[in-house]
A and B are shown apart, each in its own frame.
Chain A
Amino acid sequence: MKASNSLWKENTLNHIAPSLAKEIDVFESEIALKKQGRIDDKVFAETRLRRGCYGQRYDNGRRHDGRTTRELQYPAGALAKGPNTMWDAPGMQRIKIPYGGLNAAQLEVLAELAEEYSDNIAHITTRQDVQLHFVHIDDTPSLMRRLSAVGITTREACGNSVRNVTACPIAGVCQTEVFDVTPYAKACAYFLLGHPDCQNFGRKFKISFSGCRDKACALARIHDIGAIAAVCEEDGVLKRGFEVYVGGGLGPVPYQAKLFTEFLPEEELLPTAQAIARVFARLGEKKNRNRARMKFVVDKLGIEEFKKVVAEERLLLPYDERWTAYLKDVSQYQEMPLKPSAPLVQIERAHAEGFTEWRETNVEKQRQQAYATVTVALPLGDITANQLRSLADVARKYTRETVRSTVEQNLVLRWVSESDLPSVYNELRSANLHAHGAGTIVDVSSCPGTDTCKLGISSSRGLAGELRRRFIEKNGSLDQAVKNLRVKISGCFNSCGQHHVADLGFYGVSRNKNKYNVPHFQVVLGGQWTENAGAYGLAIGAVPSKRIPEAVDRITGKYIAERNPDESFQSFVKRIGKAECKRILENLMEIPSHDADDSLYTDWADAREFTIGDLGVGECAGEVVSTIEFQLTDCERETFEAQLQLDRGDYAGAAKTAYQSMLHAASALLDWKFFAHSLEPDSIVSQFRSHFFDTQVFFDPFVGGNFAQYFFRAHEEADAPKTPESAHRIVEEAQLFLEACHACYGRLSAEPVKV
């Protein structure tokens, strides 16, 4: 789409690690192959998901306009980027930010990408990622190259993979943490990124690192693996490790993670994570995606059996030096301040308007004397390109570019000298980034919901925006107990807005009245944010979307009026009970007829009559594609590259690449049928001959074993000099051999696989 797309590759070449550059080149080739119809829709969908390229609402080419469903005539016609997903439909690009760590250059590049490829907004997610919306798939390789040039990869941001590894945003500067979990989170993220043991999951896999047990920190209890810093004394020496929880997750039915071990020594962190990943890949559900998260494996086996299976798997792992290589630098890991520390000089009425309120809610003292963290509260997690640049300036001027994203959809500046707080406030204010109320009721979190998500039922962002506006309006008059509540909203039951762990949680549902659909939110009360998301809330009942503000007023009003001294909201909800909570909302749940009052039949910030007809098939779970399908797709790309080399007159290179593609295809078949085999070319050829050729299972019904003979000959002639003719022939034969591999896989996969 962008005129400059063809130039970014060359322009970023010297700034990208070769492995990342190769990864993006591969994806670009796959895009080209998809356009030629040479990659299956399902395979391409999972391929792009694993690069963070997600579908968006209306990408099936249909949209309800409030009266009827209309076809969207995208220019590329039937060309698809996945099952029922139009090529030209705008998509979402998720960008992984391990442990939320960002520097100024990265903020600036995100600003550029938001302007040039998206809608001028970067959106911080509830898992410390950044998302850009309305992005065209053709622009994604350039976008990825520009990110890679500043050290960011989108690899495995979506799909059935290890998602962003999150961590407490104030790790390292927190007053109550056991130790800084940042280097461990970073090591874990990059160790598992692209790891072969993490490529065959039935669904996504989420990991988080917390420094404290009692605070919300990184919400360990809602993760597949939640690691909380811990120490134990061994021979008089304090040894670092982790209290580890497994099998947590939100979704329609939330599961609290179970205690896996009270103390996992630091050197066991990565191998244990690897062993758990292998167990999940082996025992996790693959066909029914609704039962495919690891929480179901833990639940089915029971935690004791799960621990036993993981321990057995751990013993089978071949040693990997990366397990402990990073540990030698861990004790030295420490972010540094830019400026010397100095306390804030307090002069009454000397500070700018709003400074005191901002300091009260958005500034937290660090463990390090006279330094503070500053939370930049972003409305609904959104920040403009101009604001990103301004924030980059502040990060450079007052810190060593130490910025983190948070799961509450904000950004945190670390290592601000307290004496600089007034100046930082003034500079944030000039960029309109000075909103106070971080971590209070004003700071509403929300998933994208019906704005862009294919699964959204109700407008979570519309409601979040409305509630935020109302809370701001009456912020001065709100009781302190109410100010401290947290509100989190999801557009559907999948819980991306983390509504289960909020004081006041809402998730989108629909109700029908006389054949009309009415947008609703299920009210979930009393979830616990602290203690790493220690408890989930109670579902009370569904209230029409437009009446949720009234429901909030009633609930908070009752809490203020009837709470015992120092009684938390969780305790209050538990004490008065679900029935009483429901009773106070009951008449709000009654829906007038459409004729009597049609205002409830539309959603927040959406003028259309409400429908659930726009719901699409979600891509959260991705497509379950067997590893061999990826491997054969990769071989397709190699033969494609060989053709390009041939076109450039690089005959030796073309022949070599074509031969490699045959070798990899044969290896993929062996891998699929026999799991482990030698990777030596001679051995691959020999095993392929005995298992596929001599048995005739590879034989084509018409040409018999000819295609296999192409492979054998290419192997024999691998080192021979190449003429243009011989190179051309090998490239042609490689394509035919690859087709035969696909056919063989198709035939055999229709039969039960003998293990």
Chain B
Amino acid sequence: MKSENIDHVNVKIFAREPDSIDLGDAIPVFHRWIREVVLDELVIDVADYRHVPDGPGVMLIGDEANYSLDCAFGRLGLLYNRKRPSEGTFTDKLLQAFGSALLACSRLEDEAVFQGKLKFDAGQCEVIVNDRLLAPNTEQTWIELRPELEAFFDSLLGSQGYTIKRVGEPRERFRVALETPARIDSSLLQHTASGNQTQLRA
């Protein structure tokens, strides 16, 4: 497996105090995002899976990616599910997925219906590779991808400290959980992105 062949990087950023919101409130929000072309990506429709326990919740279906207020494993979070291949290295793909997920989180937090109720904490998140053939959830994949994941989080978090670990059973997709007390937001990500570009130029 070569990390540059890997695509479809998903990022799930967990919510804090998730019990206080009604997922149904996301339905009109996502419909408005489509109408007002809030995102750079082509978004098509809204899917309601609130009836499914620990399911995908409410989804904004797109061409490049789906966004969902996802409840998998009983934990609410914003899941960015990349569908179309994206350009660049594995690190570029991580940056792209994190960037899109963080932007959606921040927009949702700013929505009137969620203000003060919905807060995301990117210090609690997961990276998922949605392609079993290229990245099975095995120790081997972990050994191969860990250095790049650590390099990415080192550049993102510097000396602030974090832990990453592979989670889930082998039948699941390759999934890595990150925990850090640091605050991860779009500005930090931009800083990391420009740092990466500097490294690339160097």
Give A residues with C-beta under 8 Å from B: 1-4, 7-8, 11, 57-58, 63, 65-67, 70, 72-75, 88-90, 108, 111-112, 115-116, 119-121, 133-134, 136, 379-380, 382-384, 386-387, 389, 432, 451, 461-462, 465, 468-469, 605-608
Contact = CB atoms under 8 A, between A and B. Distances in A.
Contact of A451 (B5, B47, B84, B171): B47
B100 interface: no
B55 A58 contact: no
Nearest to A382: B52
Contacts of A119: 47, 49, 56, 59, 61, 66
A65 to B, nearest CB: 4
Nearest to B7: A3
A75 B134 contact: no
A163 to B, nearest CB: 25
A65 B31 contact: yes
A724 B34 CA distance: 56
B31 A116 contact: no
A607 B131 contact: no
B51 A136 contact: no
Interface string B9-21: 0000000000000
Given A57-B45, A119-B66, A468-B51, A3 B56 contact: no
A115 B31 contact: no
B133 interface: yes
Contact of B35 (A7, A58, A67, A461): A67
A409 B12 CA distance: 30
A9 to B, nearest CB: 11
Counting chain B residues whose Cβ lies within 8 A of the other chain, the interface size class is 35 or more
Given A73-B42, A90-B61, A136 B83 contact: yes
A382 B51 contact: yes
Contact of A134 (B53, B61, B133): B61
Given A58-B45, A90-B61, A432-B54, A116 B27 contact: no
Nearest to B10: A115
B110 interface: no
B63 A88 contact: yes
Given A63-B45, A65-B34, A607-B28, A120 B61 contact: no
Interface in B28-58: 28, 31-32, 34-35, 42, 44-56
A313 B192 CA distance: 75
Nearest to A435: B53
B45 to A, nearest CB: 6
Given A389-B171, A465-B48, A4 B133 contact: yes
A11 B133 contact: yes
B130 interface: yes
B52 A384 contact: yes
A470 B134 CA distance: 44
A461 to B, nearest CB: 8
B202 to A, nearest CB: 28
A74 B42 contact: yes
A384 B72 contact: yes
Given A121-B56, A379-B53, A389-B171, 17 more contacts: A2-B7, A3-B5, A3-B6, A4-B133, A4-B134, A7-B133, A57-B45, A73-B42, A115-B173, A116-B131, A119-B49, A120-B72, A382-B51, A384-B52, A432-B54, A605-B48, A607-B27
Contact of B49 (A66, A116, A121, A432): A121
Given A65-B31, A73-B42, A2 B61 contact: no
A383 B119 CA distance: 28
A370 to B, nearest CB: 31
A384 B172 CA distance: 12
Nearest to A379: B51
B44 A58 contact: yes
A389 B84 CA distance: 26
7 contacts: A3-B6, A4-B133, A63-B34, A72-B42, A386-B73, A465-B50, A605-B48
B31 A607 contact: yes
A307 to B, nearest CB: 46
Shortest Cβ-Cβ A-B pairs, 6 listed: A607-B28, A432-B53, A4-B133, A3-B7, A65-B35, A379-B51
Interface in B117-141: 130-134
A14 B53 CA distance: 37
Contacts of B35: 65-67, 70
Contact of A120 (B5, B45, B55, B83): B55
A95 to B, nearest CB: 18
B85 interface: yes
Contacts of A380: 51
A6 B133 CA distance: 11
Contacts of B84: 1
A105 B151 CA distance: 37
Interface in B169-183: 171-173
A386 B54 contact: yes
Nearest to A116: B130
B84 to A, nearest CB: 6
A89 B134 CA distance: 25
A470 to B, nearest CB: 12
User: A4, A8, A66, A75 — which one has the most chain B CB atoms within 10 A of its CB?
Assistant: A4
Given A63-B44, A72-B44, A2 B54 contact: no
Interface string B160-197: 00000000000111000000000000000000000000
